[in-house]
Amino acid sequence: MTFPAKPQVRPARPEFSSGPCPKRPGWSAEAVAAKAWLGRSHRAAGPKAQLKQAIDRTAAMLGLPADWRVGIVPASDTGAVEMALWSLLGPRPTDVLVWESFGAGWATDVVKQLKLPDVNVLKADYGQLPDLATVRPEADIVFTWNGTTSGARVPNADWIPAAREGLAICDATSAVFAQELDWSKLDVVTFSWQKVMGGEGAHGMLMLSPRAVERLETFAPDRPLPKIFRLTKNGKLIEGIFRGETINTPSMLCVADYIDALDWAESIGGAPALRARADANFAALQAWVDATPWVENLVADPAARSNTSVCLRIVDPGVAALPDAEQKAFVKRMVKLLEDEGAAFDVNGYRDAPAGLRIWCGATVETDDVKALTPWLDWAFAQALAEAQAA
């Protein structure tokens, strides 16, 4: 092969991590600090109003139906999903869709921790989707909209019956604000600020449809619920959670950071502009993939390819033939070369995923930086290959 020269132009912002994700363009700690209620109780009027503002602006930007509830909850997206699983599941059969690491984690909770009696785990390999047509209309559905660790997403929600009997519980943490969600087909949606909006960690968002609220108020799980999971009291929804009265103490610096991200998003045109930016970033990366013989998108079906957490596999025959552990070592060397040059940070695939690269292309990334990255990927591959051949 021809070994490319080292590129001369680096991405202006080499952060391509899939979580926490890159900050918005132009972000500064000073701008965030100026918005933050530091050293104040989150129950005071000003901080509480800011928490409610984060809730209301999220609902407005996402175009959420007016009768949905939105709350800020502990423990990031994981906490939000766990609250839903432990509080809602049980009265109906459950179908869990698994095609990447986080979906597998939810399946483990449902089967081994909750030990529900009628559970179907619909599983597919990384880069693929399960047979969505096999989802039972009478079942509660648990799924990730966008598989952060596999780069595969559901193309739409057409497979969810409009007249479904069960609830659709959707982990949308790397999809919301970057992909269009069909709210009419969903009942519980969760995400965290640290993903598409580039916010700080530890805080989750829980969004509930009226059907989900009805389930909460009519179903009492026969299992203990820790305080941070409890969404009802005396059979009624704890409405304060959805007015900014958080279950535990939030970081007001993190809240201000999320407000800052919302300000930026509104300034560029809101959710449509965010989705367009993610689409443009993905298109730039995929165009390079299509023209590059040593790499492919892990997801074969174009309709199922994520526009945020883009996962790539190395198909060069000499590397692809190696045992998995050696392929991972090869990718790790590429990643180290990129980091040492300041060209890209945190682009290794997820630890449980097949060997490969994972490059965040969400809205906070600049398309010019994606374009500047691709020559560096070619260079790092050639360098790692030369080293392997010389060894």
Phi/psi at 296 (nearest 5 deg)?
A: -140, 155
- Report pLDDT for 391: 83
- Domain spanning 270-390, CATH architecture: Alpha-Beta Complex (3.90)
Phi/psi at 72 (nearest 5 deg)?
A: -100, 125
- Report pLDDT for 345: 98
Q: Is the pLDDT of residue 1 over 60?
A: no
Question: Residue type at 324?
Answer: D
Q: Which residues contact 360 (CB under 8 A, 6 or more apart)?
A: 16, 17, 18, 19, 21, 22, 308, 309, 310
The closest alpha carbon to 274, from 341, 179, 146, belongs to 179
pLDDT averaged over every residue in the chain = 97
- Report pLDDT for 4: 87
- Report pLDDT for 3: 76
Tell me the average pLDDT across 222-243. Answer: 96
The closest alpha carbon to 307, from 370, 354, 356, 349, belongs to 370
Provide the 3-class DSSP secondary structure of residue 95.
Answer: strand
Q: What is the pLDDT of residues 98-130, one digit of tens each?
A: 999 999 999 999 999 999 999 999 999 999 999
- Report pLDDT for 180: 97
- Report pLDDT for 261: 98
Contact in structure between 14 and 344 (CB atoms under 8 Å): yes
Contact in structure between 157 and 185 (CB atoms under 8 Å): yes
CA 355 to chain centre: 20
Q: Pairing relation of β-strands 295-297 and 140-144?
A: unpaired
Question: Residue type at 11?
Answer: P
- Which segments of the chain are extended strands (E)? 69-74, 94-98, 119-123, 140-144, 168-171, 188-192, 203-208, 232-233, 236-237, 295-297, 309-314, 357-360
User: Which residue shows structure tokens 């209301």?
Assistant: 56
- Report pLDDT for 339: 98
Task: Kindly indicate the confidence band of residue 131, based on its pLDDT and cuts at 50, 70 and 90.
Answer: very high
Phi/psi at 39 (nearest 5 deg)?
A: 75, 15
CB-side neighbour CA atoms (13 Å) of 100? 26
Fold held by 29-265: Aspartate Aminotransferase; domain 2 (3.40.640)
Going across the sheet that includes 309-314, the strands are 295-297, 309-314, 357-360
Can you tell me the distance from the alpha carbon of 370 to that of 381, in angstroms, rounded to the nearest whole number?
17
Question: Which DSSP letter does residue 110 get?
Answer: I
Burial of 317 (0-12, 13-18, 19+ CB in 10 A): exposed
DSSP 315-354: --HHHHTS-HHHHHHHHHHHHHHHHHTTS-BS-BPPTTSP
Tell me the average pLDDT across 61-66. Answer: 98
- Report pLDDT for 257: 98
Percent of the chain's residues with pLDDT above 70: 99
Q: Is the pLDDT of residue 208 over 70?
A: yes
For the chain, domain boundaries: 29-265, 270-390
Query: What Cα–Cα distance (Å) separates residue 368 from each residue in 16, 178, 283, 361?
Result: 13, 18, 12, 11
Q: Is the pLDDT of residue 40 over 60?
A: yes
Q: Is the pLDDT of residue 14 over 60?
A: yes
Task: Kindly indicate the confidence band of residue 358, based on its pLDDT and cuts at 50, 70 and 90.
Answer: very high
Q: Which residues contact 234 (CB under 8 A, 6 or more apart)?
A: none
Provide the 3-class DSSP secondary structure of residue 181.
Answer: coil
Can you tell me the distance from the alpha carbon of 329 to that of 304, in angstroms, rounded to the nearest whole number?
28
Residue 224: enclosing H or E segment and its boundaries?
none
Beta bridge partners of 170: 143, 189
Question: Which DSSP letter does residue 292 get?
Answer: -
Tell me the average pLDDT across 319-345. Answer: 98
Can you tell me the distance from the alpha carbon of 108 to that of 325, in angstroms, rounded to the nearest whole number?
25
